[in-house]
């Protein structure tokens, strides 16, 4: 597995440990605050919702940027096929799609990963 492809499994591994820590800390805080949370608790609850929205839009933007690049690459490759005299190698195409898929997932998870790991350190 190339160094590029090691980022995604590492992100998923870290998320698998960070997310339960954050959920546990925040649910416990909600349970302990009861029906009248303190100003500090309200600030944390607001932050929780705000972070989710920000991470979603950052992830969406990253995925859109990568997909736009894929479209450009695909269009360029389709034009190159008409001008080439060498045989087509399906393994190169397979590798390119595999690399593109990993890049898409890694870039899309990055904002979520960054926030979850940061929150796990802060709350855990």
Domain locations along the chain? 39-124
Quickly state the pLDDT bin for 88 (edges 50, 70, 90): low
Provide mean pLDDT across the span 99-124: 92
- With a CB cutoff of 8 Å and minimum separation 6, the contacts of 105 are 8
HSE, CB side, 13 Å, CA atoms: give it for residue 117.
12
Global confidence as pTM: 0.77
119 pLDDT above the threshold of 90: yes
Q: What is the pLDDT of residues 6-47, one digit of tens each?
A: 889 999 999 999 999 999 999 999 999 888 899 998 998 999
pLDDT for the residue numbered 58: 96
pLDDT for the residue numbered 1: 56
């Amino acid at each position: 597995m190339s160094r590029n492809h090691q980022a995604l499994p590492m992100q998923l591994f870290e998320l698998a440990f960070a997310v339960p820590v954050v959920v546990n800390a925040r649910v416990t805080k909600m349970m302990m605050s009861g029906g009248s949370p303190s100003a500090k608790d309200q600030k944390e609850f607001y932050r929780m919702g705000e972070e989710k929205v920000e991470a979603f839009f950052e992830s969406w933007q990253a995925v859109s940027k990568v997909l736009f690049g894929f479209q450009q690459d695909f269009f360029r490759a389709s034009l190159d096929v008409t001008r080439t005299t060498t045989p087509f190698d399906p393994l190169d195409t397979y590798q390119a799609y595999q690399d593109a898929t990993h890049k898409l997932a890694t870039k899309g998870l990055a904002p979520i990963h960054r926030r979850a790991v940061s929150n796990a350190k802060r709350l855990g």
